[in-house]
Every structure is written in structure tokens, then in C-alpha cells.
Amino acid sequence: MKFTRIISLLLVLVILTLAVASCDITGKTSTTEPEESTTTTTTPTESTSTTQKTEPDPDEDIYVTVAEAIEIAMAETSNNPTKRYYIRATIVKVSNPAYGEMTIADETGEIYVYGVYSADGSVGYANFEEKPVKGDEVLLHCTLNTYNGTPQVKNARLIEFTPGAKEDIDASSYTEMSIADARDTELGAKVRVTGVVARITYANGMKPSGVYLVDGTNSIYVYDGDIAGQVAIGNKITVLGEKDYWVLESESNNAAKHGYKGCCQISSAVLYENDKATNEIDFSWCEEKTVKEILNIPVTENVTTTTYKTTALVKKVPGNGFVNYYFFDLDGETGAYTYTQCNGDDFAWLDEFDGKLCTVYLSPMNAKSTSSDCYFRFLPVAVIDEGFVFDTANTPAHIVEYYGVDQFLSTYTGNPLLELVTSVSSELLGFENATLSYTSSDENVVYFEEVDGKLIFNCKNNGTATVTITGTYGEYTHSVTVEITVDAPIEEAKGLSVEEAIGKEVGEIIQVEGIVGPSLVNRDGFYLIDETGVLAIIVNDSSVWDGLAIGQKVVVEGKRDLFHNGTGTHAGQIALTGSTIAVNHYGNHEYSTASFITDKTLDDFYVLDATESHSNEVYVATGTIVVEETAHYTSIKLITPNGQKVTLYSSSANQYSWLKQFEGEVTVEIAPCNWNNKAFWAGCVIAVRTADGKICNELNFTTGK
């Protein structure tokens, strides 16, 4: 009995000792009761809000205000500090929901937060089941330091957050409507739309920037990073916002000139409801169009951010430090690229479809506006590989549509001497040697003749004729007709020579006659060439390129202009601006090289005096093409015999990618140019001479149309 009593006493002593030890370890010696928490707090690993007390002990843990955090961060000398602090503040904005980059603030100031993790550090912000967003109060456990002199919160753990009072929005002031109606409503109208998130877009740094919303009547883009960071594809959401159109500010003048309003979207948006479920996306309303048909929709129509169903070839085209993804029609040539702000990283999900013909729900998201053109750029809303196989019975119709009809214009003012396509093969679609044939209803107006094994289209006399284009493949045929009018001047229209045009006063509207020469680079236009010289022609209307080709004889109308610094120090660039084709006599002529300089070297070109006028010359000289390609850039250089690098005027090396095939020693035709008031003459390579003739710079003739 006595022994039992001793054992009991020993057990009590052990328990008391353990209790005291526990108290020493935690350091909780205060007997003051903590203030009762009455707010609803949510931890990032929970899917529902719970009422709990997660606040650390104020006697042991270091609480700081934002102002104090800034002071500590500025004093911290380590890039990887270890001392941790608690900050309670309100989220001002979440700038990157991918990893919880945000700005927080309290009454003392605001500070940047590099990223946020769960309380134990195992879960990143992007994978939180419940994410704190703008307006929510958060308690962060973190380190503090600076980055490039800016104070920041680092290694932040989310201990708890309290949903804040959301913006005071009167939902009744927004009109509930379908997405189709929202697209057609007036600019600035307050709309309430409900739909399923079909695609999330990303800005630089893979920051969510907006969502494509689909409701069974149409689709529309909702531009809002906060919303994009809170939703997932398949969520059915309701947003309140304003109907808007977006155009890149630097392109606004060009867009207005082409009648392009901008990307149809909802902006100033607020996420009103989110079912957080995974709903099926309804694409049954989508109109079926070919890629070609989509691209041919006038940019004046309100079609941006609507979605079409098409069959397209998905093509991944890696660049230096970026990737472009293209969607081509069945010809493998007609198409456009995706609109990306992340160097293509936001479309890496397309890699599995590279080189395949797929069912694509494709949206012309916006249009690129230049002085001479305005063309759609795509966003793929969904891509499905259904193992598409082309029905070769459709071959005749395909070749007539993609290779036959587009060769002809509706009106000619001269004889085009146009070589026509007569045979088409496609490895992509699985057919070989499908044929095209042509007949004319009136050979006194237009006719076809075979010359040296080539079929040539000719215009003879003024009038109108019907041309029948027939595609044949095996037992299948398909024909279409096009009406062609020949309206050549009775007396051939004449213009000034290039030399005469150069002598005119700046600002004078003139007409100049010559042969269409190679492309300008980094300018919308081409060189006009005759026996007396060359003249840079700047165009401002994409229609100028319709039917235009190197070798045609034309009369160009425009303003005699001069690009220089206004001080008279530099001679500057003589050009014809605002140019249109007054008359196209067509034909296929060799441009004259009579005025070209052949008795000087590239080293002579390199030392040309910028105070002297040289912009209407072309040098023929030998140099070396050097191509340098890395993972991040391409450099194409033209080196003189004495090792000097001639500056090639361009915005990127891609504009001279056609020179890669000539790497090594070459003979070039190069025009001096000075568009931006430099103290030296840069060069524009217009052609490379080869043993078989010459290869011309066709840059704008392929991208300017």
C-alpha cells in the first residue's frame, strides 16, 4: 500500500515536470487571455471558411506594420534573410496569380509581396482552394529584404485571411443580357453576362490577364487579371462590366484609318458569381468557316473575340527566344499566328497538335494595324485532334478555290503576262498532280497561250469576258467562273522619270513612271526604278498591294517628300509618300540597272557622307553575309572586304531572313537609306546576284498584302 502511494507520487512528479518543460519550450508564460476573434478566417488548405484563432502570441512573435516592414527591409543586408515577421494588411492588388505576387497595405503604407505560400510552405498560391484577392485582409509570416533597392516581403506564408468588403457595386445598374447582345450593345454600356470560362489569357510573365466567356449565343473577352486569377476553365461565372473595344495605343491612328474599332471585350469588370464547377463548354452555336474565310472578314465588322469552328493545320514555328504558333488553312499557306504576350509560352499546350490538321475553335482576337494593312491575329479557344482525313473527292474544288481563283483580278489596265498554276500536289492532303485549266468567253478581251511550257494569261482589248477555271482530279471535276474587265488607257499614261521626280519641290503631288522593284525594309513600300535612278515609294493603303508584283510597269502618284532632321546637316531620304498606283500597265519587265554604281566597293559604301544625297542610288558590290544564331537572337551581317560591318536598316534580323541562304561571299545590290536622321548611311539589300540571275527582296510583297 505504501509502495503504491510512492509510485503514485512519482507519477504526479513526472507529469508536473513534463508540464513545466512544455511551458519552457513554448515560452508561453503569460496568463493574459487572448482577445476573442470574431472574424471569419480561411486557411489556404481549406475549402470552406472556419472561425478559428490562428494569431500567434504577441509576446513571442514579432508583429510589424507595413511602415516598420519597409524600414526593416531597407536595413536588411542579406539577400536571403532568415528572421521572420508577421504583417497584417489588406491586399491592394494581385499582380500575378500564378504565384501570389501582390501588393498589400495598411494605414502606414504599402509593400510588394514577391509570392505567397500556405502556412506550412507546401502549397503555392496558384493551387490554393480558396485564394485571398483584392480587398481581403491577410496575415503573412515572412522575411523582409530589398530587390534592386525596393523593399519587399519574401518567403511569405499565409497564416489566415479574412474576406474584405468588396467594392460597393449596384448590380441593378447593370443590364442582364446574353453575350451575343453584349457584343452588339453600345460602347460603355453596363452589362451583366453569364457564361462558361473557355480560355484564360496571359500577359508578360505568364500573368493571367483575362478570360474568354461562352454562353451558347457567342463568346466575348473579359479583360481583367483579378478575375482571370480567380477562375478556371469550365467555371460558370457572372461578371459585371462595361462593353469596350481595345486598340493598342500606338496603332490607334492606323486602326481608325482602316475602320477597325478594336478588340470587342468587357472591361472594368467585377466577378459577381462563380459556381467553381467544371461545366461543359457549348460550342454548338459556332459558325463554321475556313481559315481563309475568317481572314477575309473585313476588319470593319464586329467579329473580334467571337469564335468560329474550322479545320486548321497547327504549326509551331520556333524563333530566337520565342515561339510562334500558326493556324493554316488546308493549303498549308493561308493563315495567321496566335496573339501572345509571353513569347509563346502561353500556348505551349498546342505542342501536342503541331503538324496536325485539327478541329479548332478559333477566334480572331484582335487585328494588327499598320499604315498599309490591318489583319487578324488568332486565339485558339479549343483544339481537338479528331484524326482529320481529307476527302480527295473535294480536290478539284480545293485547288480551284485556293490556287485558281485568287490569281485573277476583276479589272486590268494593261497586259499582266501572268504565269498561271496548272498543276497542284499536296502531301498534307494526300493528292498529286491535280490539274487546273482555263477558258475565256471572249479571246479578243482575254486569252491564254503556252510559252516555253508555261501557261500565260493575257489581256488584249478593252471589254469584259468570263474566265472559267476548272479543277480536275481523276474522275472528279469542279468549275467556277470569274468576270474580268480590261480597261487599259487608250493612250498609255505617262509620268515623270525618277530623276525628274527627285528634282521636284518637297510637298508637291506628282506622278512617276517606272518598274516596280524590290521591297523596302521596315517601311511599307518598294523601290520604283527606271534608267535614271531609284525612288523609295511609301504606300499607306493595303489595297495598293493587290495584284502588284516586281517587274510591273506602273505610274505611281504621291507626295515628293524628304526625311531628315530638319537642320540641313544630313541629306536625308528622298521618297514618295502616301502613294497609290495611278495606272498599272502590268507586264513582267526586268528593272533597269543603268543607273547602278558598279565601279565602287562596299568599303566605299561604308564611308558615304551623310551630308551628301545618296538615297536614290544603288551600289553593286561584293561582301560577306555572316549569320549568327543563338537561342535568344539572330544576327545577319554584311561585311565589307576590309572587315567593316554595313548597318542594314531593319527592325529585326527576321526581315532579312531571306539572306541566310547566301551565307558567305556574295554580290549584292544595295541602296543607301537614312530614314531616321543618322549620321551615316545604312543599307537596304534589294537583291543578291547569283550565277543564275538574281534573287530580289520580296519582304513587303509577301507580308504587305
Report residue 356: phi and psi, to 5°: -110, 150
Report residue 563: phi and psi, to 5°: -100, 110
What lies within 8 Å, CB to CB, of 174 at 6+ separation is: 190, 191, 192, 240, 241
Instruction: Decide which of 136, 162, 188 is a domain's last residue.
Output: 162
Q: Which stretch of DSSP H or E encloses residue 702?
A: helix 699-703
CATH of the domain at 404: 2.60.40
**Confidence (pLDDT) at 653:** 86
The reply to whether 20 falls in a domain is no
Instruction: Convert 594-607 into a string of H (helix), E (strand) and C (coil).
Output: CCCECCCCHHHHHC
Q: Is 221 helix (H, G, I), strand (E, B) or coil?
A: strand
**Confidence (pLDDT) at 23:** 38
CA distance 306 to 364: 7
> Do residues 156 and 189 share a domain?
no
Report residue 252: phi and psi, to 5°: -60, -40
CATH of the domain at 189: 2.40.50.140
The reply to whether 48 falls in a domain is no
> Do residues 312 and 270 share a domain?
no
> Do residues 412 and 479 share a domain?
yes
CA distance 146 to 141: 17
What lies within 8 Å, CB to CB, of 93 at 6+ separation is: 102, 103, 134, 226
Written as nine digits, the cell of 504 is 521636284
Which among 490, 492, 449, 446 has a CA at the least distance from the CA of 468? 446
647-653 contacts, C-beta under 8 A, 24 or more apart: 647/680, 647/682, 647/683, 648/521, 648/682, 648/683, 648/684, 648/685, 649/521, 649/522, 649/673, 649/675, 649/682, 649/683, 649/684, 650/521, 650/522, 651/522
CA distance 222 to 193: 10
The reply to whether 529 falls in a domain is yes
Instruction: Decide which of 354, 384, 414 is a domain's last residue.
Output: 384
CA distance 572 to 611: 8
Written as nine digits, the cell of 633 is 537572337
Neighbouring-strand partners of residue 694: 689
> Do residues 155 and 177 share a domain?
no
CA dihedral for 110, 115, 117, 119, sign (positive or negative) = negative
The reply to whether 50 falls in a domain is no
The reply to whether 52 falls in a domain is no
* Amino acid residing at 80: N
> Do residues 511 and 559 share a domain?
yes
What lies within 8 Å, CB to CB, of 184 at 6+ separation is: 302
Written as nine digits, the cell of 484 is 474580268
Please identify which residue in the block is written with the cell numbers 466575348: 220
User: Is the Cβ–Cβ distance between 325 and 315 less than 8 Å?
Assistant: yes
CA distance 142 to 161: 15
| Rounded (10°) CA dihedral 194, 196, 202, 207 | 80
> Do residues 377 and 396 share a domain?
no
Counting Cα atoms < 13 Å in the Cβ hemisphere of 63 gives 9
**Confidence (pLDDT) at 494:** 85
Q: Is 2 helix (H, G, I), strand (E, B) or coil?
A: helix
CATH of the domain at 571: 2.40.50.200
Written as nine digits, the cell of 169 is 457595386
The reply to whether 631 falls in a domain is yes
Q: Which domain holds residue 433?
A: 392-486
- Cα 162 to chain center, whole Å? 39
> Do residues 248 and 311 share a domain?
no
Please identify which residue in the block is written with the cell numbers 511551458: 23
Which among 34, 36, 33, 28 has a CA at the least distance from the CA of 52? 36
Written as nine digits, the cell of 421 is 498554276
Which among 618, 541, 615 has a CA at the least distance from the CA of 577? 541
Written as nine digits, the cell of 345 is 509560352
Phi-psi region of 240 (alpha: psi -120 to 50; beta: other; left: phi over 0): beta
Give per-residue pLDDT as tens, 37-56: 333 444 444 433 333 444 55
* Amino acid residing at 254: N
Distances in whole angstroms, Cα of residue 306 to Cα of each of 198, 375, 665: 12, 16, 51
CA distance 105 to 107: 7
**Confidence (pLDDT) at 277:** 95
**Confidence (pLDDT) at 11:** 42
Residues in the chain: 705
Instruction: Decide which of 384, 416, 445 is a domain's last residue.
Output: 384
* Residue segments in the chain with a per-residue pLDDT below the cut of 70: 1-60, 165-168, 565-568, 631-632, 703-705
The reply to whether 44 falls in a domain is no
What lies within 8 Å, CB to CB, of 168 at 6+ separation is: none
**Confidence (pLDDT) at 48:** 38
Other beta carbons within 10 angstroms of residue 78's beta carbon come to 9
CA distance 553 to 320: 39
Distances in whole angstroms, Cα of residue 105 to Cα of each of 73, 88, 113, 138, 368: 15, 9, 10, 10, 39
Split into its structural domains, the chain has a count of 6
Please identify which residue in the block is written with the cell numbers 498561271: 420
Which among 151, 94, 81, 168 has a CA at the least distance from the CA of 128? 94
> Do residues 203 and 240 share a domain?
yes
The reply to whether 5 falls in a domain is no
Distances in whole angstroms, Cα of residue 111 to Cα of each of 74, 135, 140, 143: 12, 15, 12, 13
> Do residues 270 and 291 share a domain?
no
CA distance 640 to 625: 9
Which among 633, 702, 689 has a CA at the least distance from the CA of 659? 689
Q: Is 391 helix (H, G, I), strand (E, B) or coil?
A: coil
What lies within 8 Å, CB to CB, of 373 at 6+ separation is: 258, 524, 542, 545, 704, 705
> Do residues 309 and 398 share a domain?
no
> Do residues 147 and 205 share a domain?
no
* Amino acid residing at 385: D
CA distance 415 to 486: 9
> Do residues 335 and 252 share a domain?
no
Instruction: Convert 394-411 into a string of H (helix), E (strand) and C (coil).
Output: HHHHHHHHHHHHHHCCCE
